[in-house]
Chain A
Amino acid sequence: MKKRGDIVAGFFGSFIGVAVMIGANRLHLGTPSEPQPGFFPFAAGIILVVLCVILLLQALCGRDQRTESFGELWRPAILAAGLFVYAVVLDSLGYIIATIILSVVVLRVLDTKTWLKLVGISLVLSLGTYFLFDRLLDVSLPGGILTGLM
């Protein structure tokens, strides 16, 4: 079904909206003349729920909404997983090593065949950006296990 995306999005959005309203209520709403921290998010939550219900109704009544189908999912999945792992190990491994690994993975996924190219490009990219940002531009990147060596 083409409208499945809209229905899922509508339910998901309504759920978020209701959750926000509950959370905002805990923060105290106050009155319009003296709004408390929860006031604005609560109002935004209501509007979000209303909008999502309209979207749901439109989808259920069969308004033609274009959605796209999924293609091969393994490549995006590998990149997503790779970046999560990257975020976890970045501080301990350090920017240079983590980035070399990430870059090798991405290049491999995109069909770079020769290992020389894989490793060569990854090395150049990782070291190049490290020196450009960390050394030249003063944007310090985590040193990790190489701290002291570089």
Chain B
Amino acid sequence: MDVLGNLASGFAIALTPWNLLYGLLGAILGTAVGVLPGLGPPATIALLLPVTYKISPVSAVIMLAGIYYGAMFGGSTTSILLNIPGEPASVVTCLDGYQMARQGRAGPALGASAIGSFFGGVVSIFALMLIAPSLAAVGLKFGPPEYTSLVILGLMMAVYLSEESVIKGLIMMMIGILLGTVGIDPAFGAERFTFGLPRLTSGIDFVVVGMGLFGIGEVLINLEAPEVREVFKTSLKGILPNLDDWRRSWASMIRGSVLGALIGVLPGGGAVISSFVAYALEKRISKHPERFGKGAIEGVMAPETANNAAATSSFIPLMTLGIPGNLSIALIFVALMIHGIRPGPMLIQEHPDLFWGVIASMFIGNAILLALNLPLIGMWVKLLSVPYRYLVVVIVVICVIGAYSVNYTAFDVGAMMVFGIFGYLIRKARFPAAPLVLAMILGQILERSMQQSLMMAGGDFMIFLRRPISVGLLSVAGLLMLTPVARRLWKKRHRFQ
């Protein structure tokens, strides 16, 4: 029983006092940023990146992972009590969660999301543990052409799933790819697009861009019309869902876990998308879809289970193929690179302590989070009574420290502001920001693998179409880009009939 042995050694690593402490810290911070609207997991992970340079890579990933999945636990609290998503993966939880709160059933809603999150998380850890090693074996067979196609698929997925028009997503993606080329070219050592500025030779850091687009951009939008927020006053007695609730929602919990685990693995997938899909699925297959939006517990259970499952399973592509599928994972990718660890198919073999230690820490982390979000939920509800304007100041200061500490220069604070304004404008024009930031990282992998493939093939672009895995990946990417066009044609034809 290889898995059990490995897992046991993983627990030995995760249970050392320091790693326990980092795991606990990650869980608490994650819940806090999940509860507080406006500061998502990527911004928090970015802020703590410089802190992780000084600790071991295992501890670093344990803490950063804890922030990511911890936020999945915390986000629902704000959605249910305030009707404002605490973080983007809890947007749909507002629909039925807030209605439950208005009917005096905030307790069971909070309870269901905590238990669901825990269940989804555990299912997904098993998926990570059992699927990752064999997927890594497949990954070892990947050559540069397969990697090129995989990255293209990941980018197309990110665009397709970004909820705005595909053409706008693609434009953002190309801008991200181009931003990623700024600085010294890795293959030739030539300076590209630095405009003679020495600051730009090391490239534009994607942490700075992300903080600007998501942190500051969001604040600028909110400053336009500061909203009044009110916590729903309700007693939190009876936090556990009753028998009737369980009868309605146990199947949603299982469906949410499986769906979330699957979507997390997809390149470009992750917690946010999974929650939307899980909600839509529940509504579609329900015998009483009219209950949705009016306080159906399934509408809380499914997305909350799915988002934590997806957050956990999105570690699979990172740890097996070295391809980050979403922003939080991309930041963890960066953290590993800084420690000199290259995520990829060799990661599990070369760093078993990292892989199994993190898995064990996820079991511990989910148990801690269940305790933090079930018996101790009242503590987080109090956090919500902090007025929004104080929160804005904290977000601004956190973004400033985060951007500054990437390279310890004030230049990056100014750069972050530029991207903040850019983020504000593209939000107004309804361009999605996520494909841009992801493309900054994936674009660099894309360029390298594309160069290698072309050199291999003597400049023949057909190499991408001659290898079966590569063709498969590219066809899926192509189909994704064609679906919006097909849908439009379909609609037109129906209008004529």
**Residue ranges of A at the interface with B (Cβ–Cβ < 8 Å):** 5-6, 8-9, 13, 16-17, 20, 23-24, 27, 31-41, 44-45, 47-48, 51-52, 54-55, 58, 65-68, 70-73, 75-76, 79-80, 83-84, 86-88, 90-91, 99, 102-103, 106-107, 109-112, 121-122, 125-126, 129, 133, 137-142
Contacts and interface: CB of A to CB of B under 8 A. Distances in A.
Contact of A141 (B167, B177, B193, B404): B404
Contacts of B404: 90, 141
B117 interface: no
Contact of A70 (B174, B181, B188, B224): B224
Could you say which of A9, A23, A126 has the most chain B C-beta atoms within 10 Å of its C-beta? A9
Given A44-B181, A103-B393, A80 B401 contact: no
B401 A35 contact: no
A125 B394 contact: yes
A41 B192 contact: yes
B175 A48 contact: yes
Contacts of A71: 224-225
Contact of A80 (B390, B421, B460): B421
Contact of A87 (B193, B411, B430): B411
Contacts of B220: 76, 79-80
Contact of A140 (B226, B408, B427, B443): B408
Nearest to B182: A41
A123 to B, nearest CB: 12
B447 interface: yes
Nearest to A8: B429
A129 to B, nearest CB: 6
A146 to B, nearest CB: 16
A83 B454 contact: no
Contacts of A39: 451
B429 A106 contact: no
Contacts of B185: 37
A41 B193 contact: yes
Given A16-B175, A41-B178, A91 B167 contact: no
B414 interface: yes
5 contacts: A9-B426, A33-B454, A72-B224, A86-B400, A110-B393
Given A34-B455, A51-B170, 5 more contacts: A37-B192, A44-B181, A45-B178, A103-B393, A110-B389
Contact of B451 (A27, A40, A76, A99): A40
B197 to A, nearest CB: 14
Contacts of A27: 190, 192
Interface of B: 50-51, 54, 165, 167-168, 170-171, 174-175, 177-178, 181, 185, 187-188, 190, 192-193, 216, 219-221, 223-226, 389-390, 392-394, 396-398, 400-401, 404-405, 408, 410-411, 413-414, 416-417, 420-421, 424, 426-431, 443, 447, 450-451, 454-455, 457-461
Contacts of B392: 106, 110
B463 to A, nearest CB: 10
A130 B461 CA distance: 53
A67 B430 CA distance: 6
Nearest to A43: B450
A86 B415 CA distance: 12
A58 to B, nearest CB: 7
A35 B315 CA distance: 33
A44 B398 CA distance: 34
A68 B398 CA distance: 28
Contacts of A6: 429
Nearest to A35: B451
A109 B401 contact: no
A79 B389 CA distance: 13
A31 B413 contact: no
Contact of B430 (A32, A66, A139): A66
Contacts of A122: 393
A32 B459 contact: yes
A13 B420 contact: no
B420 A75 contact: no
Contact of A84 (B398, B408, B414): B414
Contacts of B429: 5-6, 8-9, 67-68
A27 B417 CA distance: 29
Closest 3 CB pairs of A and B: A33-B459, A32-B459, A87-B414
Nearest to A10: B171
Given A27-B192, A106-B396, A129-B397, A80 B417 contact: yes
A87 B167 contact: no
Given A44-B181, A67-B429, A71-B225, A51 B167 contact: yes
Contacts of B410: 87-88, 90-91, 142
Contact of A73 (B54, B181, B224): B224
Contacts of A33: 454-455, 457-460
A87 B224 contact: no
Contacts of A34: 455, 459
A138 B226 CA distance: 35
Contact of B187 (A32, A37, A47, A52): A37
A75 B397 contact: no
Contact of B428 (A20, A52, A70, A72): A70
Nearest to B454: A32
Nearest to B212: A83
